[in-house]
Copies of this chain bind each other. A is one copy, B any other.
Amino acid sequence: MARLITPRADDAARWYTDVVTQAKLADYSPVKGCMVIRPRGYALWENMQKVLDGMFKATGHENAYFPLFIPKSFLAKEAEHVEGFAKECAIVTHTRLKATGEPGAGAVVPDPDSRLEEELIIRPTSETIIYAMYAKWIQSYRDLPLLYNQWANIVRWEMRTRLFLRTTEFLWQEGHTAHATHAEAEEEALKILGIYKRFSEEWMAVPVLHGKKTPKEKFAGADTTYCIEALMQDGKALQAGTSHDLGQNFAKAFDVKYQTEAGGWEFVWNTSWGVTTRLIGAIIMSHGDDNGPIMPPRLAPLQAVLVPIWKSDADNAKIREAAAAIEKTLLAAGVRFKCDLRENVNPGFKYNEWELAGVPLRLECGPKDVEKGAVMAVRRTTREKESIPVGALATRVPALLEEIQAGMLAAAAARTQAMTRPVDGWSAFTDEIEKGGFLLAHHCGQTPCEVTIQDETKATVRVVTADGPKESGVCVRCGNPSSRRVHFARAY
């Protein structure tokens, strides 16, 4: 079989694209910068949605749906916000096509008579339209907190795109909450950060750092941006989720006020937070290998697949019988499982295909296994094998899936730790940054200095962790005093 996937060691970027397309997770669309999420990728997203949605609902959040369109003037109301998004807006200007009588693409043109009085922006994020509604719905302290989330598509016009990681259109969830006090908003932003961290580590098996963004890296319109940040196998960092303390910035821009119990009027305090389909990219880049992606068992659309080893017709009948029983057992045990009983392709072909799909566990069953009353289980991660008696499948397969899940997290955590090291001095910094990973370096905290570092090395401060030790030193670039080390890296 021809190699479908460029080895990662040869070209990490090519490897990633090959994995995504060959595993049929996503494909390029004819629309510049937009991807198609194919069923295998979308099934993974659905599982991720289900878990996250459950976590949001368990903490009192409700889903709603707000318009795709944002009037231009709304975006303009929060100065920093419009500045942050102006360069990547899809702008709707007309509402009718008119036939020209020309052939081909020129057959229809925007009808000049349908020019909108005010242009509409496709939401690059929904703070403005949502807080405009909150101004209508919130009157009293009794209406607070308001804890809404929406699952939606988002458009940010990107020049350089990469499947899942950076596309013009992507899918996400965006939470938007309103609170009576700053303390409550802060608590909410941190609660969500905790949910994101838990989801990433416990479900995606992707260990993350958590903390604050620097003022340079924060969300346009936020007072503080909290984030989770992961390190990919190639040593580049990936921002995996953000939770913003918006202060009263949008409340003031959209006049979202509430009457206090004492009868006065106060602006509300807002938070917003989101994770996107880029998390699928994080899973691929954290766990994938030269044979394809590896799905963390807890989220895998298919957790285990059985490949029969056909021999003679007489044996095959027995294998089919055994496979049917195994299927019944495993489905009853809640395992997302299927038997691949195709006869027109050989077992080796099937192994490759299911490895390429990222199925975390393969069960093999040949005549000898049937005789022994067992199946051979092969881990997608380490290729470790073990024979499981049929009677033990209902308990051993779920346990094995959990072991694979734990192994994936441990491997990623060990790798992240190995790729994280303190660096002092500018020359060491510029050498080390080439090797990838997190550099723990002192920084003065000044934006101009941060910009210089980025210009010179493409590295940014990824996160100022909450639990990092205080330690005085001097800024790795400018030599000014610093009270702590921060995590630098090149990032996606």
State which of B92, B93, B133 has its C-beta within 8 Å of the C-beta of A36: B133
B76 touches A132 (CB 8 A): no
CB-based nearest B residue for A128: B30
**Looking at A76, A91, A104, A120, which has the most chain B CB atoms within 10 Å of its CB?**
A91
Q: Mark A29-42, 1 if CB is under 8 A from B, else 0.
A: 11100111111001
What residues on B are CB-neighbors of A63 within 8 Å? 39, 42-43, 46
What residues on B are CB-neighbors of A67 within 8 Å? 29, 31, 34-36, 169
- The answer, yes or no, to whether A253 is at the interface (CB within 8 Å) is no
Interface size class of A (residues with CB under 8 A): 35 or more
What residues on B are CB-neighbors of A122 within 8 Å? 68, 92, 122
CB-based nearest B residue for A94: B91
State which of B45, B74, B94 has its C-beta within 8 Å of the C-beta of A93: B94
Q: How far is the CA of A110 from the CA of B90 in the complex (A)?
A: 9
Q: Mark A86-121, 1 if CB is under 8 A from B, else 0.
A: 111111111111110000110111100000001111
B76 touches A120 (CB 8 A): no
State which of B46, B72, B92 has its C-beta within 8 Å of the C-beta of A97: B72
Q: How far is the CA of A68 from the CA of B153 in the complex (A)?
A: 8
B96 touches A87 (CB 8 A): yes
A93 touches B93 (CB 8 A): yes
| A residues 104-157 touching B (CB-CB < 8 Å) | 104-105, 107-110, 118-122, 129, 132-133, 136-137, 148, 152-153, 155, 157
A88 touches B96 (CB 8 A): yes
- The answer, yes or no, to whether A18 is at the interface (CB within 8 Å) is no
What residues on B are CB-neighbors of A74 within 8 Å? 30
B129 touches A110 (CB 8 A): no
- The answer, yes or no, to whether A466 is at the interface (CB within 8 Å) is no
B129 touches A29 (CB 8 A): yes
- The answer, yes or no, to whether A75 is at the interface (CB within 8 Å) is yes
What residues on B are CB-neighbors of A66 within 8 Å? 29, 36
CB-based nearest B residue for A99: B86
What residues on B are CB-neighbors of A42 within 8 Å? 62-65
Q: Mark A10-44, 1 if CB is under 8 A from B, else 0.
A: 00000000000000000101110011111100110
Q: Can you sample 26 A-B contacts with CB below 8 Å? A: A30-B71, A30-B132, A31-B120, A34-B68, A34-B69, A36-B66, A42-B64, A43-B63, A46-B63, A67-B169, A68-B122, A68-B153, A73-B104, A73-B105, A86-B98, A87-B96, A90-B120, A91-B94, A91-B97, A91-B110, A92-B92, A92-B93, A96-B157, A97-B121, A110-B119, A122-B122
Minimum-distance CB pairs A-B, first 7: A73-B105, A39-B62, A34-B67, A37-B65, A86-B97, A91-B94, A95-B157
